Amino acid sequence: MTTNVLRLTIENEAEWMLPAFELERWNEDVLGISFEIRGTPGIVVHPECFRAYKEAANPYQTVKVRNRQYDMLYDQDTSRVRVNDSWQTMYLEAFVKANMIRLEYVLKLFGTGEVAIRNIRTQRGGFPDHPVVQGAPYPQWINNLKAHTEYEREIDELKSERRELPSHILPYLELSPASIYELVPDRRGLGKYAEHYGWDPRKPDILIDRTTGEPVRYEEEFPVSGHDEVIGPSGEKWIYPYHKRPWNKTLEEIFTFVPGYPGPDDDDLKRYYDPQFEKIYLDRFMVSTRMECFQEAARILAEYYHTTGDMEAGIRAAVILLKLARSVPHWPIFGKPDWNYHYILAFFDPDEYERWFAWIADTHFWQTPATGAHLKKMLAIFEPLKSPIIWKQVSELGFPHAREDVIEGILHIVRMSLRFDAYYRTDIWRYFHNTIGLQLNGLVMAALSIGCPEIIHYVIGKAKAAFGYLFMADGMFPESVSYLHDVAGDIDEALRHIRGYSDPDGYTSQLDDSHIEYFDPERVLPGYKHIMYLCKQRMFYPDGSVMTIHDTWAESQYSQYHQVRISNEIPDKDLNRRNISEPFLLPDFGHAIIGSGEGTDCAEGHLHYSGHWNHSHEDMLNFTLWAHGDELVSDIGYSHLGGYIYTAAAHNLVVVDGNNQAFSSEGGNLLHWHAPDGRTMVMQAEAPHIAYPEARKYRRAVIGIPIAKGRSVFLDLFEVSGGNRHEWMANGCADYSQTAEMTLQPDRYLDNLDDNGIPLNPEAGALSGEDFNWEGLLPRDEPGGRSHYYGAFSNVSVYRDDTPWQITMTPAFPNGEPFPGAGARAASAEPKPGLRLHWVAPAEGEVMLCDAPRHRYHRELANLQEATRNWNNNVMPKVIVRRDGSELDSTFVALWEPFQNETFVQSCERMDGIAGIDGEGVRIRTEDTVIQVLYRKSETSGPLVSGPISMDGSFLIIKEKTIAEADKETEVDFYSGVGFSVAGLKMELNGWTSQTLVGTGEDENGYYLSIRGDLSQYPEEYDKQPHKGKYIIVAQDGQSNRHLPFDKLQKGEDGLHKIYMTRRPGFTFEENTQMLKEVCFPYRILTGKAKVSFPTEVNMRILEKGNERKIMVRTDAHSIVAMPLDSSGFPCRTSGGSWTELLL
């Protein structure tokens, strides 16, 4: 232990290497490092990297500590320490490979001032009591794993019924068990080749081409050019012959270059890439095919034995399994250097755990899914063969300890997977990758099958850590809906096997010193109930198709639930169907939904404002409209066909200067969210300087207005300041062809919108065979860079935007449309809706109506080349409104009118008297209803006035419906303000003052915020508190608003109160330090004063029948209502959501 004090002066940023640690007689293990640190408050210390040496000169192991695929996002580092003037202990861990003699550990420091470090110590075996990453295993525990026959449990789902043997399996019964054992290769397979080659155990030296039926003479076609000497995890050496075949692959063909990602590693290129020759291992032929055939035969024979009791079939299945299990501990690691390599497969050292896409299995390379697949394959043979009778027979045939050896082989697969996990304790992105559910599924089935409760404790611990680390406070996985299904859905599927599980009586785990009794994930996993609600019920459109947010497969590509991607089953038509549109908010993720209706009347608008995480798109303030069964303003979603889906120009937003949006993990700021049931709903978000650094204002509001049954409209207001070109863009339906009818006459036509008129056509590239490379054909736009994709916007009609206009989009083939890549919806003859766009402002610039790629192709992954060939053919309408100028300031105003059979809006126009600099007023008319919408910009001082209407707030919506000649019903919705005048009434609100945030906590009543301020007029009775079921806002200086679901207010003494929420807030706060620490993803630490505000809403209903007038008011702030010229006012108190009738 180092006891002297080490000091360092820092200015802004520095790296600091701790004194080197000498390692003696080191076996593979985790080294724990701890020290005490203090210094200038505000300096932040992070683990940066470590280097381990086998010899004095060059490091054998260089490991960067990171929490993203290639980087450390320091503001999300959960291991950081924020220094103050008190000594704090910092813990570090490093997975150090065997035979190292020295370790160096480097810290990264940010800030200015001095730090001091003392009492540096190391601990072999790490810090299980202070783990750097929750759940990560330790080598000693891994090595001590044991199976217990008495703890074994049956897994019935792995036991399939089989009463007949296929003809190609019958030959295995003709051979003796000893002959079969000898024929099973002890060498690992190198891939999946049995689909090309056939093999018969009666002719073991002959490989048959499945296409021609002729023998494959691979030794003649691929003569040996050399040999690789390879070492397996057991230390056994292998010799792998290979043939060198000339090729001319360029670096761009063998490596996927992605913006923002590093290029190929120089050492890897030297080891594995030969620009002149391809290395073909001869084991890919006979050995690999024979291995696949034996694995299939063992599974089928085991199933047949389980069903019929045929002992001969059972013995042969057991003998094959035995040979596999005895061989697998010696198999070397084989696969790809990394995910982004093509055509290159190689062997790796037995401890190269950093090779994430390499594994000891024969047909799988990616470690986490490979674990699940490999174990399931072994267990599918073992489970039907558990009867002691089989293993007694096998032992009598000269195979002693056969059952024990099989279990040890399964345990070896488990241990290897856990060693990868142990290594990734400093690479948290891989440790908690979205594929871990597949790994955990294999591990938990292995644990039950072979009787190893320790593994079950590990699975639960890793699942608990994943739920705690990966998800945001609102329960959303920050990448996409498909990956929410992958992570939460697959983990839940793994845990399904152990719901209600209890450890054997008296059992205590060595891993966590606990005993499991009736396992219930809802009690153990943080946020489980709400996360699974999002995963399995909420993140779907009303018809059950998944919401296409970021990298999410659309319904027309892969039906309904994500797992259906890998099966050919016809999905349940009613799976995930809600048949109702309701408002919903994911405030931490950044996605808001407003809507109403039931069944085919459902319509909902989506406003997206999330940060840029993995699998995300450049889609800040994207709008999506789903109505009456279809996405009518489409967000394309996921694809493996290149970069188009990511770029801003593929979305429904404003593109500035023709550029892609920037990559930023900073989310937008939700300014307004008002969604009372059955009333007009409002959502507004902004992202100045985030999507476009030059954009001083980037703000969008969407107002959802239900008019009548099956009739809703959405008013869309988009404000942008900065830049010299603004392009408001919107897609049509991406699932089937539409006809777009424009009310303007074209001014001119263009072939495409590329500056030089060059069309973007991926058919110009190579589209055949192994040379197919979609990355080069459809490149990803650089963040903030000029978009490649204007050439893809074709058949352009250009119009002058100097008069009001509308575009109506309807299905081109109402009775169904067969085309390459058509999904079920396109082919269906079921009714399809239409959409009309009413343009309100500005009345200048140009309008362009063009064709844009739909970029959706049914079962795309199996049809990549066909999908690319049809990329320019499968198109949808795209509307672009373009303004050019210098330092533009634009407010785009449009009305979306989805309809089922016929349009219903008669007119949509700007209201008089409102200057564009102050706000917008829009009047909408239908047959019996007049709607007036006033929007006041936040920069405006004073009220907004249009004729007899005035308002001092953000949004005022007046909906006047004529019922009969003298009868009228008027609805008024007023959001975020202090007063308005309308319909001969004047209302003044006494809103709630902002409260100071003091702290956070949890008690027997739940999670709460501690606040300080005057709330003496706020109702004490919970059922009369006006914000229950709504959201309050936490606003910290310099940060985006945090919307939290209000449950109740508990008043305290001296102006100190508690606000309870319906879920955890996702952060802690201390008033004395003004420090907000996020305890959910993304784990930032933010400083600044914080206030809590209570949004105000007023809903008014005025019923006029002849000379009678009845006024009903619902408000969440005390208010005064007065008639004009009336000197007295009528008080209207908040009433917890109830309506109050005013007697005027």
The stretch 303-320 carries a mean pLDDT of 97
* 157 and 293 share one domain: yes
Phi, psi of 322 (to 5 degrees): -60, -45
CA-based R_g, the chain, Å:
33
- Residue 572: its pLDDT value, please? 55
CATH number at residue 793: 2.70.98.70
Domain termination site, one of 451, 466, 498: 451
Q: Which residue has the higher pLDDT, 780 or 317?
A: 317
**The two structure tokens encoding residue 1029:** 């079921």
1082: preceding bond cis by omega (within 30 degrees): yes
What burial letters (b/e) apply to 814-850, b meaning 16+ CB within 10 Å? eebbeeebbbbbbbbeeebbbbbbbbbbbeebbbbbb
What is the per-residue pLDDT across 830-860, written as a single tens digit (0 to 9) for each?
999 999 999 999 999 999 999 999 999 999 9
Indicate the pTM of the whole model: 0.94
Q: Is 1079 helix (H, G, I), strand (E, B) or coil?
A: coil
**The two structure tokens encoding residue 239:** 């010799």
Q: Which residue has the higher pLDDT, 1132 or 707?
A: 707
What is the per-residue pLDDT across 515-558, written as a single tens digit (0 to 9) for each?
999 999 999 999 999 999 999 999 999 998 999 999 999 988 88
State the residue for tokens 């293990």: 29
- Residue 824: its pLDDT value, please? 87
State the residue for tokens 């299904």: 485
* 226 and 106 share one domain: no
* 721 and 810 share one domain: yes
Q: Which of 253-267, 572-586, 725-739, 1130-1144 has the lowest mean pLDDT?
A: 1130-1144
- Residue 1130: its pLDDT value, please? 64
Domain assignment of residue 1058, given as a range: 995-1095
* Domain contains 473: no
* Domain contains 206: yes
pLDDT band at 865 (very low <50, low <70, confident <90, very high): confident
* 867 and 1002 share one domain: no
* Domain contains 753: yes
* 93 and 216 share one domain: no
Domain termination site, one of 101, 132, 163: 132
d(CA 286, CA 555): 41
Contact 1112, 1121 (CB under 8 A): no
d(CA 618, CA 781): 10
- Report the candidate in 594, 591, 609, 605 with the shortest Cα–Cα distance to residue 634: 605
* Domain contains 1079: yes
- Residue 613: its pLDDT value, please? 85
- Residue 1129: its pLDDT value, please? 64
* Domain contains 1044: yes
The stretch 1073-1085 carries a mean pLDDT of 94
Contact 552, 637 (CB under 8 A): yes
- Residue 885: its pLDDT value, please? 96
- Residue 588: its pLDDT value, please? 97
d(CA 167, CA 180): 17
- Residue 567: its pLDDT value, please? 39
* 817 and 691 share one domain: yes
Helix-strand-coil percent breakdown of the chain, rounded to 5?
20, 35, 45
- Residue 574: its pLDDT value, please? 58
Cα distances (angstroms) measured from residue 999 to each of 534, 996, 1013, 1020, 1032 = 29, 9, 13, 21, 16
d(CA 651, CA 878): 10
- Residue 251: its pLDDT value, please? 87
* 110 and 157 share one domain: no
- Residue 365: its pLDDT value, please? 87
What is the per-residue pLDDT across 638-688, written as a single tens digit (0 to 9) for each?
998 889 999 999 999 999 999 999 998 899 999 999 999 889 999 999 999
Q: Is 412 helix (H, G, I), strand (E, B) or coil?
A: helix
* Domain contains 1054: yes
What is the per-residue pLDDT across 937-969, written as a single tens digit (0 to 9) for each?
999 998 999 999 999 999 999 999 998 877 899
* 351 and 424 share one domain: yes
What is the per-residue pLDDT across 218-242, written as a single tens digit (0 to 9) for each?
999 999 999 999 999 999 999 999 9
* 786 and 874 share one domain: yes
pLDDT band at 139 (very low <50, low <70, confident <90, very high): very high
- Residue 552: its pLDDT value, please? 94
pLDDT band at 775 (very low <50, low <70, confident <90, very high): low
* 105 and 31 share one domain: yes
Angle subtended at Cα 245 by Cα 240 and Cα 251, rounded to the nearest 5 degrees = 100
Beta-strand (E) ranges in 480-536?
Answer: none
What is the per-residue pLDDT across 893-925, written as a single tens digit (0 to 9) for each?
999 999 999 999 999 999 999 999 999 999 999
* Domain contains 436: yes
Angle subtended at Cα 723 by Cα 721 and Cα 729, rounded to the nearest 5 degrees = 80
* 127 and 173 share one domain: no
* Domain contains 514: no
* 439 and 585 share one domain: no
Indicate the number of domains in the chain. 4
Domain termination site, one of 431, 451, 471: 451
CATH number at residue 52: 2.60.120
- Residue 1105: its pLDDT value, please? 87
Helical (H) or strand (E) element with 344: none
Query: Residue 119 pLDDT more than 60?
Result: yes
Beta-strand (E) ranges in 858-966?
Answer: 875-884, 889-899, 907-910, 919-925, 929-936, 944-946, 949-964
What is the per-residue pLDDT across 1014-1057, written as a single tens digit (0 to 9) for each?
999 999 999 899 999 999 999 999 999 999 999 999 999 999 99
d(CA 123, CA 785): 49
- Residue 570: its pLDDT value, please? 46
